Chains A and B, each alone.
Chain A
Amino acid sequence: MEHIVIIGNGISGVTAARHIRKLSDKKITIVSAETDYFFSRTALMYVYMGHMKFEHTQPYENWFWKKNRIELLKGFVTAVDHEKKTLILAEGKELAYDKLIIATGSKPNKFGWPGQDLKGVQGLYSKQDLDKIEANAPNKEACNRAVIVGGGLIGIELAEMLRSRKIPVTFLVRENSFWNGVLPSGESEMINEHILEHHIDLKLETNLVEIIADENGRAKAITTDKGETIECNVVGLTAGVTPNIDFLKDSGIELGRGVKVNRFLETNIKDIYAIGDCAEQHEAIGNRRPIEAVWYTGRMMGEALAQTICGKPRQYSPGHWFNSAKFLDIEYQTYGWVFSERSKQEHESHFHWRHASEKICITASYHKDSKKFLGINTFGIRMRHEIFDRWLTEERDIDHVMQYLKDANFDPEFYSHYEEEIISKYNSVMQTNLSVQKKSWKRIFSKA
């Protein structure tokens, strides 16, 4: 019986294992040093905030693995010997494989800051990081202030976590507005305001210079490139992530920033594959990045690879881009491509609408000549994935999207609707005379 070994029990590895089991009778082993069982990394913040217990982050009950004959091995892989098809584990143990899937995810970036390895300095990625933050910042008495370095999604989540325990937070962001390398300016500004509403000390265009230790080797303050010294007990490093592949350095597997793979998720070495955050496409797919550190792409790679391994070769071919996040209280969804002013191409134009008082806004992007709809960002309004996916496939123009926006609304029942306001602004900006079309179940469920 062929033995499939998967390194990493995150969403990619576990999805691959589940689908291989669905399709075949192969022997499956998942190796992880992080936790005994699969958990949802995205939910770690809710454990610290007291919304959930750690066990709630585990999507499958503990009996699930045995029942599905997926062996779980707790151990740390130190090297891969592809000639002998063997993994070397810490403490010298070995594990033979027939096919190997590398799904080791990411690790937080550290850019060589002085003091970056002091006690009280940490990222927020793993279960161990959760345990650390619980120890480092149990309450506002033990942690008088935390400084977070890096204005991305994990940074703002860490800020939200600490604020849930009333710990004062200083948030250093390199850019002149939060996440404006990704978000268009209107949205980025709205999030700046929201961050301040949550009493987070947001410092834009500010970089970390040094983390200063106390006599016990614990962080006690940081200095910034603005010459400021900020006393703190905890420093959160959240300046992005990088593939977690140090153990593969001398393995002969081709590495870039991540493990280089083709569209079938195969590495340069036969019977070794890589999926999820740690995989790097030789060539980016569409507008996507070569390394996609996103929950659902990990899942999709796992699904695709399981097919390949079970004899039905299937490329990883993600459909239209989508994603979501939550900035404190504001939900964010995106479908298709909406680029920030910094990175958008010349032909991309934006229509932006923002509610007069609430933190609600949308930005729709379109081709400035053809008016072809390219994508939408929504803040504080939920949208129906299926509808936008269809509109993107059908290459609708932005007028169509604006008229039928009610079909795409996914907010709970009885919520206020803003389509009228949106379209009236659209009409005045675009010199059109469109009107909102009523929601139609028939359209929503028609399989075009």
Chain B
Amino acid sequence: MKAIKNLGLVIFLIGLAVFAAVPVLGTFSLDQNTFDEIVKEKNIKSDVFIQSINENVVGKDFNGMLSLSPTISSALDAANNQHKKNKEYNKVIYTSGHDMAALVGKKSGTGFISQNKGLMWFLSFGLGIIGALMFILPNVILLGKKGIKNDGVYHDSATNRGWIAWLVFIFLVSFYLILYFRPEFAVNWTFLVDPISESLSGNPAGHWFVYGFMYCTVMTVMAVRMYIKYRHNVYQVVRTTSVLFFQIVFAFLIPEMMVRLQMPYYDFKNAFPLDYDFFFQWNLKELLNSGGIGLFILVWGIVLTLVIVPVMVYFFGKRWYCSWVCGCGGLAETLGDPYRQHSSKSLFSWKVERWLIHGVLLFAVVMTGMTLYSFFTESSTIFGIKTQSVQNTYSLLIGAIFAGVIGTGFYPIFGNRVWCRFGCPLAAYLGFVQRFKSRFRITTNGGQCISCGNCSTYCEQGIDVRAYAQKGENIVRSSCVGCGVCSAVCPRGVLKLENGPEEGRINPTEVLLGNDVDLMDLVNKK
């Protein structure tokens, strides 16, 4: 069994190495026809740029994106500079150099990778999946009897912020940086999943498709790990199945197929304000121009946020979304599960959390207000502030850096819910409802708590669960996503997630169960 595990690890690492090497490999040669198509498609009016590409790129072979990308970027920069100098603003190209390089790369990939998509997919994704499963599946036997399986979590370099954790951190952060800021280096990855994309949407894959496919793959493999680790805990099994289903079907398959059916790309479970660009002008215009389905999506999106989300939170707590449906939560609960113990439980972190998450919510609401104002009044500024630049700032700082690079990249260091805890505006909104008007609570079982601290340690949202449990107090916190792990790891059966009557949800703790005092006596003496 151990041997299978080790072999699996080796196979996984080979797959990972291939995946990591692919971005800088491959050959690109742009022919005249393809370039003319690009010019037409992108409506490029810069003769300087066209000429420069014709001279320096067309008909030549480029070895790897490291040589192609700078050539295109510098041609584009030079062209734009000249046009700006000459005030030929209609000729300026507003696509970034990186996006242009990605576009050219996608259409001009000729080497081994683009010609052997299936093989390359197998060598990267395939080996990764097989290796990971070989590493994970023996746990059915190795982990022994069912029960809590946290032995050695703090002895293992991978889960105790050791060197493995730091390597994972570097890998994840680099991956997100490429995805958001250097898409041209993701071009070769897109080739690997082209066949899958074509079979779903009919289009070749872009780098966001790579991300979506990878997201589903990683979640599926790590869900297998969850199933094995928590096989004694039906709540965890059902919940894991739910997040996996919503990710694969709602976030991945349905939107891709909608594209095939000429409908807008839309994830029906992605609620505003997590889906922060729902009200952006381009999206509203696309929806309004998409006929019945567009209108339906528009109404659905609004009803989802204003009615469905809060009503469900009232009945079930925000867990119905955050740990049963949401994609960010889904990744956190599968890939992120080995890191859940790293969320800081200090009071300081809680203070930071409240400022940050509510700050982001405020930011999202103000931005959306400006967006709608601009949409209806058709003015691009409010009080001299450009709506577009506010949107761009949000997209960059919150959408890309906070949610992506920090939110996931920092899993091995700060725990698996960095984004959900400190940044997600939807979580902040759900939190208000959960805290003030909900039937959900984690009930503390009388006086049984022994203050051991397992619940707090394994709370991914950094809630000091023990602080409540040892006082016999129920846990009613806006940030709780209801993952149920505190209850699972409790050795004394103290915690239970439940939806019950609102009355008595926040229980009095003047006297802890067990100490038999005359209550009236106590009240009278006060």
Contacts and interface: CB of A to CB of B under 8 A. Distances in A.
Interface of A: 11, 40, 42-43, 46-47, 49-53, 56-59, 61, 164, 197-198, 295-296, 299-300, 303-304, 312, 314, 317-320, 322, 324-326, 328-329, 331, 333, 382-386, 389, 410-416, 441-442, 444-445
Contacts of A413: 234-235, 484, 497-498
B514 A49 contact: no
Given A164-B152, A314-B517, A414-B234, A331 B492 contact: yes
Contacts of B516: 317-320
Interface stretch (B210-218, B256-264, B277-285, B448-456): B448-456
B500 interface: yes
Contacts of A52: 154, 453-454, 457
B504 A40 contact: no
B233 interface: yes
B446 A57 contact: no
Nearest to B511: A303
Interface in B479-526: 484, 487-489, 491-493, 496-498, 500-501, 503-504, 512-517, 525
Contacts of B453: 40, 43, 46, 52, 56-59
Contacts of B155: 50
B501 A445 contact: yes
A386 B238 CA distance: 28
B347 interface: yes
A187 to B, nearest CB: 16
B362 interface: no
B369 interface: no
Interface of B: 144-148, 150-156, 232-235, 238, 346-347, 443, 445-448, 450-454, 456-457, 466-467, 470, 484, 487-489, 491-493, 496-498, 500-501, 503-504, 512-517, 525
A164 B146 CA distance: 14
B450 A382 contact: no
Nearest to B151: A164
Given A50-B150, A300-B514, A61 B234 contact: no
A385 B513 contact: yes
Nearest to A49: B151
A389 B493 contact: no
A51 B446 contact: no
14 contacts: A50-B150, A51-B489, A52-B454, A58-B453, A317-B515, A324-B493, A326-B491, A333-B492, A333-B493, A385-B448, A412-B235, A413-B498, A414-B238, A445-B504
Given A42-B450, A382-B496, A412 B515 contact: no
Contacts of B445: 382, 384-386, 410
A197 to B, nearest CB: 6
Contact of A385 (B145, B447, B491): B447
Nearest to B239: A414
Contacts of B154: 47, 50-53
B315 to A, nearest CB: 13
Contacts of A441: 500-501
Given A197-B145, A441-B501, A412 B488 contact: yes
Contacts of B457: 51-52, 56
Contacts of A61: 346-347
A40 B151 contact: no
Given A318-B514, A331-B493, A414-B235, 5 more contacts: A197-B145, A317-B515, A319-B515, A320-B516, A413-B484
A414 to B, nearest CB: 4
A295 to B, nearest CB: 5
Contact of B151 (A43, A51, A59, A198): A51
B168 to A, nearest CB: 19
A445 B503 contact: yes
A46 B513 CA distance: 26
A412 B448 contact: no
A56 B147 CA distance: 21
Nearest to A416: B234
- Most chain B CB within 10 A, of A61, A386, A442, is at A386
A322 B40 CA distance: 79
Nearest to A410: B496
Contacts of B450: 40, 42-43, 295-296, 324
A173 B155 CA distance: 31
